[in-house]
Amino acid sequence: MHNNSSKQGRRFAPVHARVQVWESFRIPSSSSVTTTFEPLAMGIQMPQSPAPAFADDTNSKFENVRLPDWFAAVNPSNEVLARAVLKLDQMARDRGVWLYPQTDFWLLKKVVAQHRSMQAGLTPQCDPEFNLLTPENSFWIVGRDESGRVVTTQATRLFDWSTTNLKVEAESLRFFYADPGRQARDGDELIMDCEGARRITGRCIQAGTVWVHPDRRGADADGVNLSQILARITRFSARSRWDHDFTFSFVRNRLIESGLAERFGYPNVEPGISLKLPDFGVVHCHLVWMNRDELIEDARLTVEGILRRPLAVRAA
C-alpha cells in the first residue's frame, strides 16, 4: 500500500507520444467531436523555454509531464473541456506558474509537511496512510514558479457511490477512511445536515486539499487568483478522465461569505456541514457542488473568460 507511485495500470500514453501535443491537439475520432484545433489558433502561446527544474529535494520524485500533454494522453472527448484546460494552463503560465499532474500521494504528503507552516494541510481522504490512492481513482497537481519552487497543490479523488450517497458515506466516515472502524481516530465526526448531500450519488469527485503559497495568494490584475484556476483545471481534467456525475467540495463558512463559491464556479451552495478532525479542530462548512451539465456550462464560460458565475441554489 505504501508504494502508490507504481506506474502499473496507468492509462497514460508514453512520453514520446505526448511531445507533439502543443503542435496539434486532436479529439479522438471515436467521439462525437472530431475537430482538430491548435493552441495558437486558440490564443494560447507556445512555451518559449522549458520550465525550470524543481528546487527542492523531492525533484527526482516528481512526474515531469506538463499538464497539456498529460491531459491529451487521457484522450479527452469533449472539445469544450479541452479548450478550457488549455486556456487555464495559459493563465497559470501568465502568472509564472507551470502545472504538473502527479499520482504519488506519499509525495503530496511530504510536500504538505514541508509547507505546514504556510497553512498547507492534508485531510484523510487524500492521505495514503488511510486510503489506497492509485492513478485510477486519484491525482493531484503541483505548480512551480520560475525558480522551481513549489507554489501550489490541488488534489482530487473519484468515489463510486452507485448504491449510496455523500451523506451516508460522510457520516459513516467511509468518505475519509477505507476502514473507519480501524482507522478513524477518537473524536472524528462529519455531520451533513444538507439536502444536497443526499443528491450526490453515482460517480463523484471531491476537489480539495488546495494550497497556495502566501506569495501567490490574492487576485491578479484580471481579478482571478491561482486557486480559481487550479479548482477548474482539476475538475475539468477529472471529467475527461472519469466522466463523473457530480463534483463537490466543503468550504468554510467565512470563505462562503467572501463569495468564494461564485468565484470557483459552483452554482449550488448549502450550509449544514460540521466537521471534526484532530488535525483541524471543529470546522463549520458549506457544501458546494455541481452536476454533469453544470460542469460543462462552467467549462464553456471559462473558455469565454468568465470565471465567476451566479448561484443557482443557495439554501438559507
C-alpha 233/C-alpha 284 separation (Å) is 26
With 0-12 / 13-18 / 19 or more C-beta atoms within 10 angstroms meaning exposed / middle / buried, residue 268 is buried
Do 79 and 37 touch, CB atoms closer than 8 A? yes
pLDDT at 229 (0 to 100): 96
Nearest to 70, CA basis, from 99, 26, 101, 97: 101
C-alpha cell at 108: 503530496
Quote the percentage of the chain above a pLDDT of 90: 66
- C-alpha 51/C-alpha 71 separation (Å) is 17
Q: What pLDDT, in 10s, does the model give residues 73-107?
A: 876 678 999 999 999 999 999 999 999 999 999 99
Q: What is the CATH number of domain 15-314?
A: 3.40.630.30
pLDDT range class, residue 313, cuts 50, 70, 90:
low
Q: Label residue 297 left, alpha or beta by phi (over 0 means left) and psi (-120 to 50 means alpha).
A: alpha
Cell matching residue 203: 460517480
CA atoms within 13 A on the CB side of 281: 3
Ranges of beta strands (E only) in 23-134 are: 25-26, 36-37, 98-102
Residue position matching grid coordinates 515531469: 64
**Does residue 11 register a pLDDT over 50?**
no
Give the CA distances from residue 240 to residues 20, 72, 73, in Å, rounded to whole numbers and listed in that order: 20, 10, 11
pLDDT per position as a tens digit, 217-275 = 998 888 899 999 999 999 999 999 999 999 999 999 999 988 888 899 999 999 999 99
User: How is residue 301 written as a grid cell?
Assistant: 464560460
Distance CA 50, CA 43 (A): 20
